């Protein structure tokens, strides 16, 4: 979980400060390519963020099953509890 937070914060800062000065981000055009990071760098970081966030969502969504499966509850109740806890992740 700490890795997700660290990467998310890094990605947020990267997006926020990818252009110098910062308002150049909204003025990007033919005259400003040298003031912002290359599009390839942004694309790679965005794909990496998507993969990491999707993986984390899947992992955190399935964690409740490992907690609930050993409880002495009927199967239907376990499924409902896992569903509710999985959606909260």
Tokens 């000065």 identify what position?
A: 21
Inter-helix orientation angle 39-68/75-88, to 10°: 150
Query: What's the confidence (pLDDT) of residue 3?
Result: 81
CB count within 10 Å of CB 82 equals: 19
What would the pLDDT profile of 11-65 be if each residue is shown by its tens digit? 899 888 888 888 877 776 666 667 788 889 889 989 998 998 899 888 888 888 9
Segment 62-88 mean pLDDT? 89
pTM: 0.68
**Which residue's structure tokens are 């760098």?**
41
As for how many domains the chain has, the answer is 1
pLDDT given for residue 44 in this prediction: 92
Q: Which residues contact 48 (CB under 8 A, 6 or more apart)?
A: 7
pLDDT at 33: 64
Structural domain that includes position 28? 2-88
Percentage helix, strand, coil, to 5, in the chain? 75, 0, 20
């Amino acid at each position: 979980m700490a890795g997700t937070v660290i990467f998310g914060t890094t990605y947020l800062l990267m997006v926020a400060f990818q252009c110098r000065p910062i308002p150049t981000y909204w003025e990007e055009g033919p005259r400003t390519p040298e003031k912002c990071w290359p599009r390839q760098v942004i694309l790679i970081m965005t794909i990496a963020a998507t993969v990491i966030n999707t993986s984390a969502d899947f992992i955190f969504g399935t964690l409740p099953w490992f907690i609930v499966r050993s409880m002495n509850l009927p199967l239907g109740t376990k499924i409902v509890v896992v569903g509710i806890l999985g959606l909260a992740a």
